[in-house]
Structure 1
Amino acid sequence: MATDDPALSLLAEAPQGGDEPRRDGDRLDDENRLKSDFVRRVRDALDEGERDQVYDLVEPLHPADIADLFELLDADERPRLASAITDLMSADVIAELNDHVREQLVEDLPAEDIAEIAEQLETDDAVAMLEDLDEADQQAVLAELDPEDRAAIESALAYPEESAGRLMSRDFIAVPEHMTVGQLIDYLREDMRLATEFWEVFIVDQRHHPVGSCALSWILRAPRPVALADVMKRDQTLIPVTMDQEEVALRFQKYALISAAVVDEAGRLVGQITVDDVVHIIQEEAGEDALLLSGAGDGDINEPIHLTIRTRLTWLVVNLGTAIIASSVVGLFQGAIARFALLAVLMPIVSGMGGNAGTQTLAVVVRALATNQLTESNTLRMIWREFRIALANGLSLGLLIGLAVATIFGNPLLGAVIGSAMVINNLMAGCAGIAVPVVLDRLKIDPAVSSAVFVTMATDVMGFFSFLGLAVLAGLA
């Protein structure tokens, strides 16, 4: 059927996706994860040296799914997979790879191959690939790059790790404010060297300082003769090039940004950060603090085992030291425990409940600090809030355990002692849970890294001391 409408003609000529059968039904499950049966077939083909079969299995996958496949395979299988699907190893696949997996693969490649991959990547992805290389290997790869790409990557590597300078892309559109909408549209269409993916155009003055921005939707809907200065948005959220990536993510979340200009120390526009970059940061930061609180490192199952052992063992040794301190408090009352052995049975309840309460408060406070909900302006209010919560929880738990102990052991005085100790230790847990991370934050120390150790020590020491001390004072032992 013929039609005079060009748009309808193009639609009629376009292939209809609905007529094409799903190609990933035997590869992905309902939750869009690679099926174990598919991964097993890839493994079997690799073991049998069937490179063509491996290629045929992997070729229909999305680059992100290919990256997932690398992570699911064992370390010794990954280089063989990369060798079998060489021309499928696009920049999109490399950009999606887990950091540890990418580092392993890159280490096995010659410098010229790494340089070829880097030239296909966005600057921030290329930097992520090169930053973990040894200095000598890094310089060898940089020497293989063309001068423009090398200058961009070297400039990014000069910024601190996890900063906006490392994260930003240098592919952006910036034009002077004297342009009209029509001139801008013609410029975007005619200059093939410009960035191909962007959401807004930055307007700059003669010093290359950003003075506004225009969303693409505004540009497309505004009349051609209108000056950009009349339609641009002058209020901008500018990102300093040295800003930590966690703070960048908070800016995007707070102001609902799609993209933002990055400026250097002189206020010149040097790059942009887009929301797709920030999504990865939010995902990383969301789990990072919880893992740091437990001393489990970065929690990546692809991390080399020796690094995981070193990280976890370090904190376990620190915890061993705090446990010894807590046990020394128990040692002060060993005579009382010997005279009334029931104290040894009950005292872990007090310290354990205090530790749980402290962990609850600590998790809330660390999150509040990370998201800028807790600042100097509302610290006192937060302390008063957590004090009231700790008091209410302590009284409730103290009443429950006190009545239970008095009933089970037929000793009301013992019930009163353990109930009072529960209240005291819950108050200690609440105070320590907020005071420790706040103090560490004021000292510019990441509160997620070491707060748990101090809070646990405080609740253990106070739990043992309050229970055993009150027992001695009450004449139970």
Structure 2
Amino acid sequence: MAETDLDERVFETPLQGEGEQFDEENRLKPEFIRQVRESLRDDNEDSTYDLVEPLHPADIADLFELFDRDDRSVLAAAITDLMSGEVIAELNDYVREDMLESLPPEAVASIVEQLETDDAVQLIEDLDLTDQRAILAEVEPEDRAAIENALAYPEETAGRLMQRELVAVPESMNVGDLIDYLRREDQLITDFWEIFVVDHRFHPVGSCQLSWILRTPRDIALTDVMKRDQTLIPVDMDQEEVALRFQKYALISAAVVDESGRLVGQITVDDMVHIISEEAGEDALLMSGAGEGDINEPLRDAYSARVRWLIANLGTAVVASAIIAFFGAAIEQLVALAVLMPIVASIGGNAGTQTMAVTIRAIAMNQLTRSNTKRILLRELKVAIMNGVTVAILIGIATALLFTPELGAVIAAAMVVNIVISGLAGVLVPVAFERMGQDPAVASSVFVTMITDSMGFFAFLGLAVAAGLAGM
């Protein structure tokens, strides 16, 4: 597949953001957006083209995302020559899907053939099966076979992410042979940083960085200069785990191998930057129950993703309400209990959310495993106790001054109990979900909130009754 020239990208990128189109934070200025919109409304395609032409493909993609759905097709028609595969690949998933659906299959196929395999797969994987087949029918047989092979792997795995384009050479070569090969072959990919050395079964046995090759005499065997220790990525590995490997070992690229250990592709760090960003944002959104949280997401999808967790939260809130109802007589006798209850629940909820966020991140980063769960639990318990005592002293003194010393002691004790329970729940709930093979970010917040609210009310009202401040 066609590639973007590396030199153009290296020298072009630093200039982005220096013109009148960008503000100090490298965002497209409202004035520039307004100029493009007015040019479109005046049907002045030449002016629109002149305005957009200096932009980097990633900035053109940003421009599309700032326009309404109807205006995007008009803009695309005005800058057809600029609608490269790079621009399409940089588009938001929903925006890209809308645009591709409006194009004929042959036009999409032309874009697909400009891209590396991994970008081409990302381009069409979310389309309907019928649309996929229509597009692939227009793609060159070699490229079509590579894309179909990638689509056969599960979503969010290394098989979907990897690009088939790579440089692999036999271990029998020396440095001079390799340099001659690289200069002679005109079908090699344009951008690569690492060369994979393989045996006769096409199993990777080592890798060489280009800098090593350039600094090594020609007569030295590749087996003497290559790095034998490699981080090999199984083709079915989850993309989040792949990202952790790149982060942990500071990889630029990594070989992807199939079940037999045969080299089938490579993953590069530029792909991992996107994955790390996506996974981090995805976990934060899942914790809040906001679904994918994309502002371009269709209204129906956004509604269905959010409302089910609100309904689940409504059900868990009933538990807290039942506890309040159980202590209704006590609340009637001492109105101060009703005033102070939300404070206990709120502080406990915040404490639980803090611990839960730390735990989920530790699980995602492989920092929390079965081998150190007990140590992490004890650590968070100590933090919870220290936080609980600190907050309890403050709220206890304030309550004693405003109401009575006895009530101050009760709320202080309830605060310690609830923050400690919140800390334990913030660790145990995500760990339990992870042990059950579920994503701990998906439903942890609902259950942690239920525990902190319920136990906060129960501890405060129960201690108040036990202390004789109110009867039942």
TM-score, normalised to structure 2, is: 0.95
1:10-58 C-alpha deviation (Å, 9 max, x unpaired): xxxxxxx9xxx99952211222211110001111111221111111111
1:375-434 C-alpha deviation (Å, 9 max, x unpaired): 11111000100111111111111111111111111x111111111110110111011000
| Mapped contact 1:164–1:242 kept (Cα < 8 A) | yes
Q: Which amino acid in 2 is paired with 1:40?
A: R
Unpaired runs of 5+ residues, structure 2, are 1-10
CA distance in 2, matches of 1:87, 1:350: 61
- Of 59, 75, 94, the residue aligned with 2:69 is 75
- Of 172, 175, 183, the residue aligned with 1:178 is 172
Match of 1:420 in 2: 413
- Of 82, 107, 113, the residue aligned with 1:88 is 82
- 1:129 to 2:123 alignment: yes
| Mapped contact 2:17–2:23 kept (Cα < 8 A) | no
The 5 A counterparts of 1:36-435 are 36-409=30-403, 411-435=404-428
CA distance in 2, matches of 1:163, 1:196: 25
Match of 1:449 in 2: 442
CA distance in 1, matches of 2:456, 2:16: 61
Match of 1:467 in 2: 460
1:103-145 C-alpha deviation (Å, 9 max, x unpaired): 1101111111111110111111110111111011111111111
Q: Which amino acid in 1 is paired with 2:320?
A: A
Match of 1:439 in 2: 432
Q: In structure 2, do the counterparts of structure 1 residues 357 and 100 end up closer, same or farther at CA, with 3 Å as the change threshold? A: same
Deviation at 1:297, TM superposition (A): 1.6
Q: Which amino acid in 2 is paired with 1:226?
A: I
Q: Which amino acid in 2 is paired with 1:469?
A: G
Unpaired runs of 5+ residues, structure 1, are 1-16
1:157-206 C-alpha deviation (Å, 9 max, x unpaired): 01111111111111100010001111111111111111111001000001
1:352-392 C-alpha deviation (Å, 9 max, x unpaired): 11000000000000000000111111110001001111111
CA distance in 1, matches of 2:68, 2:138: 31
Q: In structure 2, do the counterparts of structure 1 residues 324 and 145 end up closer, same or farther at CA, with 3 Å as the change threshold? A: same
| Mapped contact 2:206–2:228 kept (Cα < 8 A) | yes
Deviation at 1:305, TM superposition (A): 2.1
* Structure 2 counterpart SS, 1:211: strand
CA distance in 1, matches of 2:202, 2:33: 51
Identity rate, percent: 66
Deviation at 1:215, TM superposition (A): 0.5
CA distance in 1, matches of 2:105, 2:328: 66
* Structure 1 counterpart SS, 2:39: helix
| Mapped contact 1:163–1:241 kept (Cα < 8 A) | yes
Q: Which amino acid in 2 is paired with 1:321?
A: G
Q: Calculate the aligned-residue CA RMSD, in Å.
A: 1.3
CA distance in 1, matches of 2:85, 2:154: 24
CA distance in 2, matches of 1:220, 1:95: 33
CA distance in 1, matches of 2:73, 2:397: 64
| Mapped contact 1:24–1:60 kept (Cα < 8 A) | no
- Of 26, 33, 42, the residue aligned with 1:32 is 26
CA distance in 2, matches of 1:222, 1:473: 81
Q: In structure 2, do the counterparts of structure 1 residues 320 and 23 end up closer, same or farther at CA, with 3 Å as the change threshold? A: closer
Deviation at 1:299, TM superposition (A): 2.0
* Structure 2 counterpart SS, 1:37: helix
| Mapped contact 1:23–1:60 kept (Cα < 8 A) | no
Deviation at 1:85, TM superposition (A): 0.6
* Structure 1 counterpart SS, 2:155: coil
Q: Which amino acid in 1 is paired with 2:425?
A: A
CA distance in 1, matches of 2:462, 2:25: 56
